[in-house]
Structure formats: structure tokens, C-alpha cells
Amino acid sequence: MPRYFLEVSYKGTRFNGFQIQQNANSIQAELQKVFEIIKRPVVMTGSSRTDSGVHAIQNYLHFDLEEDIQERMIYKLNAILPADIMIRSITPVKSEAHCRFDAVSREYKYYIYRKKNPFLNDRAYYFPYKIDIDSMEKAAGIIKKHTDFTSFSRRNTQVKTFECKIMSSQWEWKNDVLVYQVEGNRFLRGMVRALTATMLKVGRNKISITEFEEILNARNCTEASFGVPPHGLFLIAVNYMQDYFTKVQEY
């Protein structure tokens, strides 16, 4: 049966996360609902789950459908979807293509602003305190040297391994907004927010660089901080091998 990759963007403020769940409003549920209205019921698989209130510039799902999908279909689906979800593309792929397992990395950014701004209050974390950016940048660099992130995963996370490979981890200023950027092959539940919150403790001199690395080595989630809100977090991109979509397209 033909398989399709669905590329989406969404503002997660009013949703209970990405993944479909009983008696809760989710991104996946909204997407499956409009397909049932316009086309027919489909079961979708997501590439990356985002938590309640987290946003995405790019995320993917895949589904199987024994019909061709025309370009006009994207317009029809977007017309019915709520304003905070947008379908960016629908790409036919080979039946064995998998949006989650074939992805080679995910990139997240966490946004922080320090001066009151009404246009950022639901898309960035207001943190009007003096912070040591140099120390936070050192902490961000240490993260790339580690692979076990048990300390930065929420309690009772059901995974086979807490191993993650981090390719990029850095802080930067962009238009008066402080941004933490991190790219890895996979992320654990709550991991990016926990890294951000704990590095903010470094920036506030609540803990030292040495203590930050000790938290990484402790493999104990009670040692880390998870105290930043979800609305500052964006899934920026889900990345695949170069020419991936050319190689997996159906002809």
C-alpha cells in the first residue's frame, strides 16, 4: 500500500501534546480527524512526540493510503484544520519508509526573553534575572561529551536506553532573545527543558559547572531541574539523510 510523509507545523499552546491519547486534544488527533472528513480514516505514526504546550516548526507523520493525493488536497485539509496546525507538504514514499526510525537527528530550540514583551509571552520564557551566559555556554559544551541522559529524563520514562548522541549544543542571542539550540539523534521525555532549566541554575550561580557535570554523571532525575515552561520550546527540524526524499519516493 502506498505510504505518505506528512510534514506539519503547529503551535502547541492549547493541545495536550502531539501523540493521540484518550479524552485529550492532540495534534495527531486533529490531523487524523480532518483526513477522515476529507478522504478516509488513516492511522498516523509520528516522527517526534512533543509534550503539552510545545510547538513545532517542522514535524513529520506517515500513513498508508490506497489512493493518490493531489496538491489540492493540502489546501482542503488546511481549510478545515484549526488555525494553530498547518500541513506543509505530503510526500509519497516507499512502503518501508518510516518517519521516526529513518530520521537521523532532531533539532530543538528553547527561547528566553529578559525584558517584558507582550508578543513573546506565549512563545518564549520570561526570565528577567541576571545570568552568566559564559558559564551557560560552558555547560552547553559539556553536554556534547556525554551520552547517558538519565538525569534529564522525567521519572518513569518507558525507554530501553537513556543513550543519546548530541551533535550540537549552544546558547546564542537572536534579536534580544536568548536561545538554547540542541541537535541530537534522539531525545528523552522532558530532556531539552531539563537541560535548559539546569543550565539556567548555572547561569544564576545556583550550581557550578562542576556540579552540573556531576548531575550528568549521577544518572538520577531528582538531581536535575525541570522548572521551565513548555511554551518556550520549539521542535525546529526533523532531519533525514541527504537526498532521502528523492531515494524513498514512489514512482
- Burial label for 202, CB within 10 Å (0-12, 13-18, 19+), is buried
CA–CA gap between residue 114 and residue 130 (Å, rounded): 9
What does the pLDDT look like over 26-75, one tens digit per residue? 999 999 999 999 878 899 999 999 999 999 999 999 999 988 888 889 99
Asked if the model's pLDDT at residue 249 lies above 80, the reply is no
List strand residue ranges (DSSP E) for 67-218, in order: 85-93, 105-113, 125-126, 166-174, 177-184
When comparing pLDDT for 191 and 156, which is higher?
A: 191
Please say whether the beta carbons of 111 and 57 come within 8 A.
Answer: no
Model confidence at 145: pLDDT above 50: yes
Per DSSP (E only), the strands in 43-126 are 45-46, 55-64, 85-93, 105-113, 125-126
Nearest CA among 16, 18, 102 for reference residue 58 = 18
- The band of 251, judged by pLDDT with boundaries at 50, 70 and 90, is very low
How do 233-239 and 55-64 pair as beta strands? parallel
CB 24 within 8 A of CB 51: no
Looking at per-residue pLDDT, the higher value among 248 and 162 belongs to 162
Q: Residue 111: what pLDDT?
A: 98
Pairing status of strand 166-174 against strand 125-126: unpaired
pLDDT at 158: 72
- In the predicted structure, residue 250 carries a pLDDT above the cut 60: no
Residue 166 pairs in a beta bridge with 184
Using 50, 70 and 90 to split pLDDT, how confident is the model at 76? Answer: very high
Q: Give the Cβ contact number of residue 88 at 10 Å.
A: 14
Domains of the chain and CATH, by start: 3-102 (3.30.70.580), 105-236 (3.30.70.660)
DSSP state of 112: E
Which cell numbers in the block locate residue 54?
A: 510545545
Q: Pick the catalytic residue: 51, 64, 122, 176? A: 51
- How many Å separate Cα 142 from the centre of its chain? 21
Give residue-wise pLDDT tens across range 115-129: 999 999 999 999 999
Could you give the CA distance from residue 77 to residue 12 in angstroms, rounded to a whole number? 18
pLDDT mean across residues, the chain: 93
User: In sequence order, what are the residues at sequence separation of 6 or more whose Cβ sits closer than 8 angstroms to the Cβ of residue 146?
Assistant: 166, 216
Residue 21 has pLDDT above 90, yes or no: no
Quick one: pLDDT at residue 87?
Answer: 97
Say if residue 242's pLDDT is above 80.
yes
Say how far apart CA 109 and CA 179 lie, in whole Å.
6
Q: Is 51 a catalytic residue?
A: yes
Q: Is the pLDDT of residue 248 over 80?
A: no
pLDDT for 243: 84
Res 70: pLDDT = 81
Would you say 6 and 60 are in contact if contact means Cβ atoms under 8 Å apart? yes
